[in-house]
Structure 1
Amino acid sequence: MLTGRYLHWNQRCIKWLWWLVILGLLASLPIAYERNETEQKTARKVEFVFDYRDLLEISDLQTDPQQFVATQLKEMKRAGVQSMAVYEATLSELRLSRRIEVFSSHEATALTQSPISPNENFTYILFTDKVAQDKLQPLITQTFASLNVKTRPWSFKNQNGMIIEMGLDEANMKPMDPDPITLQMLKEQGFQIVMRMSNRRPFDEAQMDALLGQLQQLGVKRFIVDGETVPGYVSESKPENLEVMAELMKKHHMGLANIELQKTQQKGFNRLAKLLDYNVVRLHSFTEKDGEKLTENLTDQELDERIQGVADRFVLAVKDRNIRMVFLNARAVKNLDKGKILNPLDSIRESLNGPDGAIPRIKNAGYSMGIAERFFPFHSGWQKAAKVVLFVGAVALIALTIAYFIPELALFVFVIGLIGAAGLYVLSPNLFAQALALGAGTCAPTLATIFAIRTARDKLQSRTGSRLGFAIWLLVRTAAISVIGVCFIVGLLNQIIYPLVIDQFRGVSILHLLPIVLAALYWLLFNENLSHRDKIVKGKKLLSSYISVLWVIGAAVIVAAGMYYLSRTGNEGQASAFERLFRSFLENTLGIRPRTKEFLIAHPLFLLGAYLSFKYRNALLLILVGVVGQASIVDTFAHLHTPLMISSIRIVYGLSFGIVIGIGYIIVWEIVVRSWRRWTPSLLKE
């Protein structure tokens, strides 16, 4: 009796679950609109920053270092570099700036030709001019006094200096406030200053307040963390200094830059970003190693191609990944074949403002050059209520998907899912949102493919209507169902921490693979109208089937293809040189590159399978391959640092080109089949 009543309500709930999914879908649309408003109407300025220390290191190998620096600064300004990154000063950097000369005790002995105690290992400094002495001596004295290291005056041939009672190697490493002469010079030349701030000095609130006040007067708006920990970080259990640091940064109107593709986030960064109300911009780093590739032994054509590749990289970072600060590094390289010391500065400038350079293309995309600004999210108060509807709708979608495998579980899974999700929300709201987004994002393409298989199977029985029209309609309908998962991901994960990659949507690999596994499982065991007993028998039969060498080879091919497929997912996926060239061609031609696996493989094969389903039962296998494209549609929007508009256009391009190429596959199929039919009788007669 109880079982019968449950089955009755379970059957009735299927319809209501679909209504809950539709309500969740509708609730996501205004949330998506506000996210798009955030992306399109705030943070539209892009800042190119060059590492000033790198420029000093390159200049140290030139015949006239100071003139080289002056010339390069003018050229960079002309090329569109608006900002210079300045580090906390060290004795080594002050020497590179030609403010001081530094000697060890042994070197000082040789210089002065006077004996020094053999037990002494000190650092000797000579200031290059009176301005350098007046500005830097108090700074150096204060730094080493705070370390309880003694200093005293010293001079040589009427050139003033000082002695630091610490070994040269160790003294060269000690950080101090940034060089005030450099800061003022860069400001006078019209550069915005971006500070590289470390946690290498003991945190002192008064000293940090004074430093940030000086930097504010110079117009500093943002700093980049230099090292593995943010200023003020002690440990996760001792956040007091971070709270003080956040208050000081707010007082002086400063924010952070988050370097993308780091192996590990700097310790304390996420907490400091939260305390700053996410006054953070994303930063893309063009490293010294990247620059070295522009100094290799290359032909003019090869160099032009690499410069073009660098420009493409910067444009893609800004358009596709919400990068608002591009950090440029360079290094001098000894080229033995040419007998020269080379640097990539000219090539970097050409990538910015040369023919088809990055800066004009970024401007054409709707951005402007200037000081990088934070996002100011559009976030109406009603979003909380909308997310409750999304929460219920996501659970309903998961329950519906399970119901297409085991119908009797729909109501049970829905109720247990609501309870479990609510408990997860109490434990961790972020984990709750990610778990539901992953579940909905997995279920939508799975359901879409299941419906496509069922529809194509039914079409095999009726065989009425236009075959091409049916195929196109089925692909578009399947993609539309997959987009339901997109809506839930966008709605549930609409927090600024995701576009800034302060937190990431975990389980993207599962989102790629699980719909394929579930769709294949449905095709193997649930495609036919069998009882549960028959499904179990069929499953046991498959598991106990004779395994031939051909099966082993096929399984190996499938596993290899799956591993390659997963290796291509995410930001760290690898691509061949030819594919990178093809991607670049698509990006430069279309402005937004569709995904290759969608428009070249999955969608065309799906279309061909739907076309052939009028005649061939095994054509369902081609439709099954199409689940890769459906999972890719959802995964495109799971890259939450990519603007919604870009992802949407990418999907439209993928479907449009996929249909065109799929029609090409169909034409080739028809030509081959008709040719076979025409020539086979003639061959048999002969």
Structure 2
Amino acid sequence: MSGLYLRLNKKLLKWLWVLVILGVLASLPLAFVRNETEQDTAQKVEFVLDYRDLLEISDTQTDPRSFVTHQLTEAKKSGIYSMAVYESTLNEFRLSRRIEVFSSHEATALTQTPVLPNENFTYILFADKEAQTKLQPLIEQTFKSLNVKMRPWSFKNQAGMIIEMGMEEANLKTMDPDPIALDTLKEKGFKIVVRMSNRRPFDAAQMNALLARLKQQYGVKRFVIDGETVPGFINENNHEHLDAMAELMKKYNIGLAVIEPLFQKVPQKGFSRLAKNINYDVVRLHPLTEKDGEKLTENITEPELRQREIDVADRLVLAVKDRNIRMVFLNAKAVRSVDKGTIINPLDSIYASLQGENGAIPRIQAAGYSTGVAEKFQPAYPGWQKIAKAVAWVGAVALITLMISYFIPQIALFVFVIGLIGSAGLYVLSPSLFAQALALGAGTSAPTLAIMMAIREARAKHQAKLGSRIAYAIVLLLRTSLVSLIGACFIIGLLNQVTYALVLEQFRGVSVLHLMPIVLVCIYWLLFSEESTYKEKLRKARALLSSNISVLWVVGAALLFAVGFYYLSRTGNEGQTTALERVFRSFLENTLGVRPRTKEFLISHPLFLLGAYLCVKHRKAALLMLTGVIGQASIVDTFAHLHTPLEISLIRVAYGLSFGILIGIVFIIAWEILSRSWRRWTPLLQQE
């Protein structure tokens, strides 16, 4: 039985590469379909200004209404054609100067009537007849639904009403968006984006009437969720209202915008289900937050302010090009400046960051996008996709098996069969988990396998010592990178869903993808890279584990831990960088259009090239090639950012290899100069 198993295992080892290649070939059409989706659909970028922020800033001005009118004109000149309007509150009506709101204490002072100690009501005065006509029914409908009593009130022939609820609480109650504001913005040519919350009890009839009015009168096409839950969400087990909300949104062809995860503490509850039920009519939104705006109001010099405006522009351009952002949400806030002795706001600087020679909008347009109402991606799901993914599934399991076979070749057949059965069971349990697990396994295996193959090749070359060393090193780097790209192909093929492009689902395990290849390659180098029996490998492992630990070892381990922690802290969307590096990154981005990864072209690829060059003469120089695993893992990780367009990822990898080879050649030249100088001068120094 064991003899039969070993024969089958030996045959399988020959066929694993065939299965891997078939899996790659099946993934390529899926990559092509994704690229077509990214290149041919959703090419409009929508810039949206928070209208409530505008009202809050106007409250600090001497002529609030004139200020708002002027800013709307300036916003349109700068390329902002959409305004975000919230569901209204009494406080927002007050900021708009449509009503004045008083507590019972303030009302008694105003009317000079005796204080009523048992009363804590809210008093409202309407600014004019239009405000009363359009807002009073809205206010009455809201508080009537809460069973709050109301009655008319007036002061000096100015109409108003009394709401029998404390002012602090009354100011929190949410009602339909301000119809006067909507009419004003429509007249001035702005598109409307509504901030919709879940703060009111869900009523299908009222929601239907609201959505009909928003769509038919104001052409609303998209909601941005305001708060932690989407409209209609009750809990994770009750979806009745949520599904009803989805049906209404489909009825009126209204979509959603999803805020980038980096700017949300937790995902908004119910968002994924609502997005799925409206057929993923969703665009990605990048916010310029109030905190970001405050940086444009600090007491700095004019050149520093201009640079910060350029930094904002760089950030917005990068978001659109690199992360498929189609809606930019602009926030602003009035700030008290003690140094300047006035209240200032960042609006002018925000406008400046959008227009001008270095402005975000001209640069975004130059990159092939246009400004307008954001549109969803239109992904294609051809009938052959399931077959292609099935072939990619087998190829991914084969790739993982190949990587493991470099450690223990005798278990390849067992691993392959168990891998197929286990992954099939995982698919039945959760198709999403199945795809992510296989993608992570293939993505980890490819760079690991690439470096292990390169180490074997380098040692074979050391024995042969034939041909041009520089040409050999370059070819080896390119061939190694090609093997790593196999992992990228499987990630693209297995995770070919719009949910990943919109980051409604995230590819977990990026840290594993960075760290595990390093660990596996180090284990391979220490124990499995040389021909020896398993007993000898075990003896070597025991010797390493039982070695005396010196202070130098402890210091070295601490340094490795620090380097590893720093390396991992820089991975993912929340990676940390220094100010100097951000300047360098910005320079690369603006010069090349797409920024190559620093760890690839400055560190990993050049050192790999130097190691491959030296290993022809010096066997231990292959140790330098181990650093290449960082760059190879980075190549795969580039494609694991599924919200980044494929074209951008390909250009980034190509730049990384091109510049890495050039810098590697510089390393080789420097090495030759130093080594020849050392050989020339050492005998002379010894003679002296």
Aligned to 1:351: 353
Aligned to 1:129: 128
1:71 is matched by which residue type in structure 2? H
Shift of 1:182: 0.2
Aligned to 1:237: 237
Aligned to 1:178: 177
Matches within 5 A, 1:100-499: 100-217=99-216, 218-260=218-260, 261=262, 262-499=264-501
- Other structure's SS at 1:497 match: helix
Fraction of identical pairs, as percent = 71
Gaps of at least 5 residues in structure 2 are none
Shift of 1:409: 0.5
Distance of 1:263 and 1:425 partners within structure 2 = 30
Shift of 1:545: 1.3
Distance of 1:144 and 1:316 partners within structure 2 = 45
Distance of 2:403 and 2:138 partners within structure 1 = 67
User: How many residues are paired up?
Assistant: 685
Shift of 1:295: 0.5
Distance of 1:11 and 1:511 partners within structure 2 = 29
1:234 is matched by which residue type in structure 2? I
1:60 is matched by which residue type in structure 2? D
Shift of 1:679: 1.4
Matched, 1:24 2:23: yes
Shift of 1:231: 0.2
Aligned to 1:63: 62
Distance of 1:503 and 1:287 partners within structure 2 = 24
Aligned to 1:532: 534
Q: Deviations over 1:171-224 (max 9, x none)?
A: 001000110000000011000000000000000000000000010021100000
| CA contact 2:610–2:668 (8 Å) conserved in 1 | yes
Aligned to 2:543: 541
Matched, 1:629 2:631: yes
Shift of 1:551: 1.5
Distance of 1:458 and 1:302 partners within structure 2 = 57
1:664 is matched by which residue type in structure 2? V
2:266 is matched by which residue type in structure 1? T
Aligned counterpart in structure 1 of residue 594 of structure 2, from 592, 595, 615: 592
Distance of 1:157 and 1:200 partners within structure 2 = 35
Q: Deviations over 1:389-436 (max 9, x none)?
A: 011111111111111100100000000110000000000000000000
Distance of 2:622 and 2:546 partners within structure 1 = 24
Distance of 2:409 and 2:270 partners within structure 1 = 48
Aligned to 1:672: 674
- Other structure's SS at 1:620 match: helix
Distance of 1:37 and 1:93 partners within structure 2 = 44
1:343 is matched by which residue type in structure 2? N
- Other structure's SS at 1:153 match: strand
- Other structure's SS at 2:501 match: coil
2:385 is matched by which residue type in structure 1? Q
Distance of 2:407 and 2:539 partners within structure 1 = 16
Distance of 1:116 and 1:199 partners within structure 2 = 37
1:637 is matched by which residue type in structure 2? F
Distance of 2:403 and 2:679 partners within structure 1 = 43
1:146 is matched by which residue type in structure 2? S
Aligned to 1:507: 509
Shift of 1:116: 3.9
Shift of 1:617: 1.9
Using structure 2 for the length normalisation, give the TM-score: 0.99
| CA contact 2:356–2:362 (8 Å) conserved in 1 | no
| CA contact 2:257–2:285 (8 Å) conserved in 1 | yes
Using structure 1 for the length normalisation, give the TM-score: 0.99
Q: Deviations over 1:303-349 (max 9, x none)?
A: 11111100000000000000000000000111101111110000000
Shift of 1:457: 0.9
2:156 is matched by which residue type in structure 1? K
Distance of 2:306 and 2:456 partners within structure 1 = 52
Distance of 1:619 and 1:533 partners within structure 2 = 27
| CA contact 2:197–2:231 (8 Å) conserved in 1 | yes
- Other structure's SS at 1:498 match: helix
Shift of 1:18: 1.1
Shift of 1:263: 2.2
Aligned to 1:567: 569
